[in-house]
Amino acid sequence: MQQYLILRAIPFALSALLVTACGDDGGPATGDASVVTDAAPSTDASSAAQALVEQLDLPCCLAIQDQTIYWVNQGTMTGSVQSVPLAGGTPATLASDLDFPISIAVDSTKVYWGDPLTTEILWVPKAGGTPTPLFDEAAPWGLVIDQDWVYWADGDAIKKVAKTGGTPVTLVPALDTTLYLTTDGDHVYYTDEGTGEVARVAVGGGTPDRIASAQAFPQEIAVDSQNVYWHNRDSGTTMKAPLAGGEATPVVTNLASPAGIWVDQDMLYYCL
């Protein structure tokens, strides 16, 4: 049976990222992932990524806070929300028996996720407990938060609602197929699978700025202080583009169905 993993790539300071996947026998999968460096691809096995958690049920959509990584397991009708310290350990289950959790975000007290089957945005205390609906009729796929707002993508628009509830506000209407987004507090960044574009819009709304175009089915997206990162699902490549503008370049190549992405000061995290 295929094993699914959450992986941590090697530090950016080494200017190279490598991932490996587990095959049906639990060993390295056929076809190692490529290493992308400042110079040329390498196959240095010492640069391999570290598997943080293994044998998961379709993990996707990562969030990290206070040295803990949170994710959803996407098994239909058996979905769950889990966490584990970045240092490793036994995963904690925060919510279980979920319909179809497909996004996750974390603040100082709560873990939020969206469920497009139930059309709900829900939350649970970081220690776990009974899920509480925040908003219904949302059809949320990608979901992110800031201090006051919850933002989500429902396929053809990006919307937001106050954490205290209320009436949703549409930030970007009339998109093609936008399912994933992230925020740096000033902008909401998103991908559009239908048009192959990566773009951003101010959290208060306005005209979107295009970051990249002609991408191969761009999906999950993350941002740090300098770059935007996203998975191109069709090419199995993780890309990045500078916030200041410039060409999109590959970070990791030859991935088999990458899912979930998160970036911190030193590391890039993703699921296989």
Q: What is the CA radius of gyration of the chain?
A: 18
How far apart CA 160 and CA 8 sit, in angstroms, is 30
Average pLDDT over the chain, rounded to an integer: 81
How far apart CA 62 and CA 199 sit, in angstroms, is 20
Q: What is the pLDDT of residue 268?
A: 83
Look-up: residue for tokens 């400042």? 38
How far apart CA 101 and CA 72 sit, in angstroms, is 6
Identity of residue 95 = A
What pTM, to 2 d.p., does this model score?
0.81
What lies within 8 Å, CB to CB, of 142 at 6+ separation is: 61, 103, 114, 152, 153, 178, 179, 180, 181, 182, 190, 221
Question: Has residue 92 got a pLDDT over 90?
Answer: yes
What lies within 8 Å, CB to CB, of 102 at 6+ separation is: 60, 61, 72, 74, 113, 114, 115, 116, 140, 141
pLDDT digits (tens, 9 = 90+) for 107-160: 999 999 999 889 999 999 999 999 999 998 888 999 999 999 999 999 999 999
Question: Has residue 247 got a pLDDT over 50?
Answer: yes
CA separation (Å) from 170 to 59, 114, 138? 29, 17, 11
